[in-house]
Amino acid sequence: MPDASHVMWGGRFAEPMDPRLDRLNRSLPVDRRLWREDLATNRAWVHALEGVGVLTAAERDALLRGLDAVATRLEGGAAEGADDEDIHSLVERLLGEVAGPVAGKLHTGRSRNDQMATDLRLWSMTAIDGLDAALAALGRALVARASEGLDLLMPAYTHTQRAQPVRFAHWALAHAWPLARDRGRLADARRRTAVLPLGAGAIAGSGFAVDRRALAARLGFAEVAPNSLDAVGDRDFTVEAVFAATLAAVHASRLAEDLILFSTAEFGFVALPEGFTTGSSLMPQKRNPDALELARGAAGQVLGRLVGMLTTLKAMPAGYQKDLQENNVALFEALDRSTVVALLLEGVVVGLRPVPERMAAALDAGTRATDLADLLVRAGLPFRDAHALVGRLVRRAEELSLPLDALPPAEIRALDPRLAAPLAALGGALEAVERRTVEGGTARAAVLVQLERAGAAFAA
């Protein structure tokens, strides 16, 4: 239980808080990580109060000095084991201890409602920047691997079945582009986060006409929330950040899944860096892709946070409600987790070793069946007929246990003599990828254009 002298609202209460309420109500263990943001908000508020004549210049300086001393104490772990209700109560108590009675003036015209909304927005902007930097690093790692693997060929899969040959670069960039879109979503979310709630008071607007534009400028906000009632209850920015983080985590899980599959003995397309794998306590031969499995699993938990947040917000009345406090931990964990996952995958991608011979061995002639149909089309057949004809060829090759391009001439003639010339011109996987010069295709020239664009998307 907080010491009665540690709560901000004791005056009208005759009875102490029930310990069962205290257990759920006390948010300090979660929101103590907002201490830097809370101090920034407090410093800005000191200036705002001086601006409206609530504080003298001397009081302003005393409070600013006091907040510096509080920063030192928090830096030294003053939040450790503290019994205060939340970060705002803790900061106010510590300020009283270091600055004396003048500390009692700081909460003038302000509420923990507009304060918390402001702290959370400041925290979110920093967290968004951190996730963005991690995604950019992962994107750069994928682009670097793509650039090295430009001339490495592998099968691409649909339904986890061999489909068509692509460049390894094309595969790596297929996992980079979603991250570029994630970065766009984060930038968009950040714009709507940089809107200042402070000055909204509890709900109706501060009773003191503080200069909110000056507050916004001082704290790094681009805009001022236009409605105090909306400002204290609006957590859209947390949902947007967590959604962007969730989608990034989902993208990370897809990359992880590909790499888990490709690193199995059955595929063997890539070898994972040892530092990102673990052994088995029983089976001495095992090397498990734990980093990738953790990344894959984390996506589910981040998604759960998003759903939990939206469910808490649904049907909440206008203005601040304590329900909102439950969402803070979800915001923190979703952003933390997705950032750690992106950083982890960057390490895996940097240390990845492609195995060209295993990729080449998987490029059987069947992956060029579409090319054969295309060649028949070029010779004048309607695509449907070409598709059916190649289908019969595939079936016959399967019956004879031969690759599709190795049937004896007599077999080909028996199926359809029009197959002979396209089969002779079919070529290997390289010819197949080089037929895909279309923009966004996997031919060398097209991938080079793509590489340049991807490089720019992750440059900063």
Which of 41, 113, 206, 253 binds ligand ARG (CB under 6 A)? It is: 113
Q: Write down the least CB distance from residue 243 to ligand ARG, Å.
A: 21
Beta-carbon contacts of residue 316 (< 8 Å; ≥ 6 apart): 233, 323, 324
CB 66 within 8 A of CB 58: no
Distances (CA, A) of 157 to 160, 162, 167, 189: 5, 5, 13, 34
Q: Catalytic residue among 5, 159, 281, 401, which? A: 159
Q: Which stretch binds ligand ARG (CB under 6 A): 109-117, 358-366, 377-385, 431-439?
A: 109-117
Tell me the two tokens of residue 351: 């240390």
Q: Write down the least CB distance from residue 169 to ligand ARG, Å.
A: 47
Q: Which is nearer to ligand ARG, 310 or 329 (CB)?
A: 329
Question: How far is residue 6's CA from residue 349's CA, in Å, rounded to a whole number?
Answer: 50
**Three-state secondary structure call for residue 442:** coil
**Three-state secondary structure call for residue 327:** helix
Q: Which is nearer to ligand ARG, 121 or 251 (CB)?
A: 121
Does 238 help bind ligand ARG (rule: CB under 6 A)? no
Q: Catalytic residue among 88, 124, 206, 280, which? A: 280
x-marked contacts with ligand ARG along 31-60 as a string, rule CB under 6 A:
x-----------------------------
Tell me the two tokens of residue 328: 């803070």
Does 198 help bind ligand ARG (rule: CB under 6 A)? no
CB 192 within 8 A of CB 114: no
Q: Which stretch binds ligand ARG (CB under 6 A): 38-46, 111-119, 309-317, 414-422?
A: 111-119
In the annotation, is 159 catalytic?
yes
Does 252 help bind ligand ARG (rule: CB under 6 A)? no
DSSP symbols for 179-216? HHHHHHHHHHHHHHH-EE-TT-TTTT--SS---HHHHH
What amino acid is encoded at 15 in this protein?
E
Which of 37, 50, 84, 86 binds ligand ARG (CB under 6 A)? It is: 86
Does 116 help bind ligand ARG (rule: CB under 6 A)? yes
Place of tokens 């980079």: 176
Does 228 help bind ligand ARG (rule: CB under 6 A)? no
Place of tokens 């391009």: 405
Interface with ligand ARG (CB under 6 A), residue total 10
Does 200 help bind ligand ARG (rule: CB under 6 A)? no
Does 193 help bind ligand ARG (rule: CB under 6 A)? no
Does 118 help bind ligand ARG (rule: CB under 6 A)? no
The one-character DSSP state at 197 is -
Does 112 help bind ligand ARG (rule: CB under 6 A)? yes
Question: How far is residue 359's CA from residue 155's CA, in Å, rounded to a whole number?
Answer: 7
Q: Write down the least CB distance from residue 27 to ligand ARG, Å.
A: 4
Tell me the two tokens of residue 178: 């979603």
Place of tokens 């979110």: 124
In the annotation, is 6 catalytic?
no
Half-sphere exposure of 79 (CA within 13 A, CB side): 24
Q: Which is nearer to ligand ARG, 238 or 442 (CB)?
A: 238
- The H or E element that residue 195 is part of is strand 195-196
Does 92 help bind ligand ARG (rule: CB under 6 A)? no
x-marked contacts with ligand ARG along 421-450 as a string, rule CB under 6 A:
------------------------------
Which of 2, 7, 27, 368 binds ligand ARG (CB under 6 A)? It is: 27
Q: Write down the least CB distance from residue 254 to ligand ARG, Å.
A: 34
Residue 21 CA, chain-centre distance (Å), reads: 34
**Interface residues for ligand ARG in 293-352 (CB under 6 A)?**
320, 324-325, 328
Q: Which is nearer to ligand ARG, 186 or 324 (CB)?
A: 324
Question: How far is residue 119's CA from residue 127's CA, in Å, rounded to a whole number?
Answer: 12
Q: Comparing C-alpha atoms, which of 247, 19, 14, 206 is closest to residue 113? A: 206
Residues constituting the chain: 460
For the annotated catalytic residues, the residue numbers are 159, 280
| Residues of this chain that bind ligand ARG (CB under 6 A) | 27, 31, 86, 112-113, 116, 320, 324-325, 328
